[in-house]
Amino acid sequence: MRITLLAATALSLVPMTLAAQTASPAPAAPAPAAAIAANPLLADWTGPYGGVPPWDKVTPALFPQAMEVAIAERRAEYRRIADNPAPATFANTFVPMQNAGKRLGRVLAVFGVMTSNMNSPAYQALDREWSPKLSAAGDEITFDPKLFARIQAIYDARTASGLDAQQQRLVTRTYDSYVRQGAKLNAAQKAEMSRINQALATEFSTFSEKLLADEGTAITVTDEAMLAGLPDSVKATAKAAAQERGQPGFAIVNTRSAVDPVLTFGTDRALREKVWRTFVNRGDNGGATDTNATIARIVKLRAERAKLLGFPTHAHWRMQDTMAKTPQAATDLMMRVWPAATARVKQEVADMQAIAAKEGTPITIEPWDYRFYQEKVRKARYDLDQTELKPYFALNNIIDASYYAANRLYGLNFKEITGQVPVFEKNVRVFHVTDKNGKEVGLFYRDDFARTGKRSGAWATTYRSQRNLAPAQNVLSSNNNNFASAAPGQPVLISLDDAETLFHEFGHAIHSMLQDVNYPGLTGTPRDFVEYPSQVNEHWLLTRDVLDKYARHYQTKAPMPQALLDKVIAAQTFNQGFATVEYLSSAIVDMKLHTVADGVVDADAFEKAALAEIGMPKEIVMRHRLPQFNHLFSSDAYSAGYYSYLWSETMDADTWAAFEEAGSPWDKATADRFAKVLLSTGNETDRAEAYRAFRGRDPDVNALLKVRGFPTTN
């Protein structure tokens, strides 16, 4: 299970926002032709493949005008819909709503990439300024009584007006979304709602800026002996990081991709502790980059908003449009898994403690020891050393492997066209995607390498989503990773974990590429469904066909030996206590935090108390402590929703079981049914119903427990 971020820019049911504005509406007017001609961000995307973003022309200075003009144009488009004197119909209200705001959508798609992949002080300043303005601009539309009156009139007549099933679903989902966002509030309540939304947008930007600053720091090591045990590739990356900063020796950057190898292989225990403490205290060091006060304001504002909208807590509000539906349902699943995970941790710690004792190392296992000693246990139990695997995972080969699997399963074809269209960074690669009949699907962009100014982690983004509603659109999709680049002339070798991350993120891309929906408003899926297609896609990495063709030793070109694969498979349930507790503690604390009715919390104190309540093992820290929990505090996206990875993994494990029951991971009937029923349909049908249509029943949590090597239950 990859714990990653997913960014998406598909048109939503309510106006796309990052946050909002309180100024009175400007007169309806088309986007000024002179501004469009002078500002490349405002121009329609031109060129081949249905038009592409003008990445080569993007500068921070272009965005203020682009935002102003695009917001005004969207405002005018919605104004015309609301002021239409004709009785409200699906054709004169919902269809133009589906087409409104396209120019702003393009501007924000580019802006999102620049603030995530190419961040700088200039973009941070823009984010601080424009997040609240964008939020208010969205609220202005959501709170428009004339517009909502038309939506409600169509909603009230939805079953008697001849609408087909998709149209009825779009109407229902749009109406429900507007209500959830406050469309039924009175004027004073709407003003308060907009104030809260704008304040939250500002706080989200502040949190992101502070965390990025902490993640940009590094620990300098001048004595190479302190790096004993680290693979040469890790030391080379640290040396390059130091050179980039103009520092002597080696620099261990304060990001997961740089820290984890040190904690896994470094024999210098003092260095491991220093690196671990620096990493887990991001955002929690006092001073200018401390996020605790920001978090307190965010949680309080969220509670105020939930109360204003009539919900007991922020979690109840957020979960209205999810598969789980309620905080209790999500909590029930998490707590069903938690006891087995903590029990496994006790076994894992005992195994590690035994090895330390056998080696004559008089220590008690601490969090900075866990990854280091788990490798010793893995080696002793399975004769498997992670460094044995890396030579078989050359990045370019694994990229080709992901395309091979997508082609064999779904008929997708990938042809590299790097250099033929603009990119935002020199190392970005671009692929033209077609389906099994040669029909164009769109483009796929890859931004695979870590660099200063790029946020940590891995994520997928859709610059433009598929739609059949005229004007039809193809897909512009991307994956974003933080792999360490290699020395000149050397192949980039990635770990098994990195390879799984690559397949995971590519699963998001496959989901967007296979989409075949009519209305843009039926593209986005519930948060606890989003990670499901990507988690399923991880399974094909270790199939023998993929390994034989692509997991070849970068020097000898020999495929991975079956004996080595057998060790990997035998060890798949190894260390699942750590992996599950690390993730699940974060998800449980997230849900507990967002079910505090008044939202008054001290982040550090709350985290400590919540972990004590559930019996958090002292040898493990949350995967994301609250002061650095980007999923929760850089936007609302995953707030009260981090459980979604586990919810999705339950479906993922059960889906893989369907392929196993069919006798092959390449079973065509199962793959076709999976694509047709679940991957291509967006949100045209209820996702729980769609899953039942695919599997014939609800997902079985025992499949998840079995995959993790935990005892199954009745």
Strands of 5-6's sheet, edge to edge?
5-6, 459-464, 475-483, 440-449, 429-434, 413-416
- Encoding tokens for residue 566? 């057998």
- Does the annotation mark 359 as catalytic? no
Q: How many CB atoms neighbour CB 126 within 10 A?
A: 20
Phi-psi region of 245 (alpha: psi -120 to 50; beta: other; left: phi over 0): alpha
d(CA 549, CA 389): 16
Contacts of 376 (CB under 8 A, 6+ apart): 352, 355
d(CA 314, CA 306): 5
d(CA 331, CA 253): 35
Q: Which residues of 49-82 are buried (b: 16+ CB within 10 A; e: fewer)?
A: bbbbbbbeebebebbeebbebbbbbbbbbbbebb
Helix (H) or strand (E) holding 413: strand 413-416
CB 582 within 8 A of CB 497: no
Helix (H) or strand (E) holding 464: strand 459-464
- SS3 for 354? helix
The single residue of 505, 531, 607, 684 carrying the catalytic annotation is: 505
Q: Which residues of 578-609 are buried (b: 16+ CB within 10 A; e: fewer)?
A: bbbbbbbbbbbbbbbbbbbeebebebeebbee
SS3 for 491-532, per residue? CCECCHHHHHHHHHHHHHHHHHHHCCCCCHHHCCCCHHHHHH
CA 31 to chain centre: 33
Residue 388: Cβ-neighbour burial (10 angstroms; 0-12, 13-18, 19+): middle
d(CA 658, CA 694): 10
Q: Which residues of 501-522 are buried (b: 16+ CB within 10 A; e: fewer)?
A: bbbbbbbbbbbbbbbbbbbbbb
- Phi, psi of 543, deg, nearest 5: -70, 150
- Encoding tokens for residue 352? 């590690």
CB 630 within 8 A of CB 641: no
Helix (H) or strand (E) holding 407: helix 395-410
- SS3 for 558? coil
**β 250-253/429-434 pair status:** unpaired
- Catalytic positions: 505
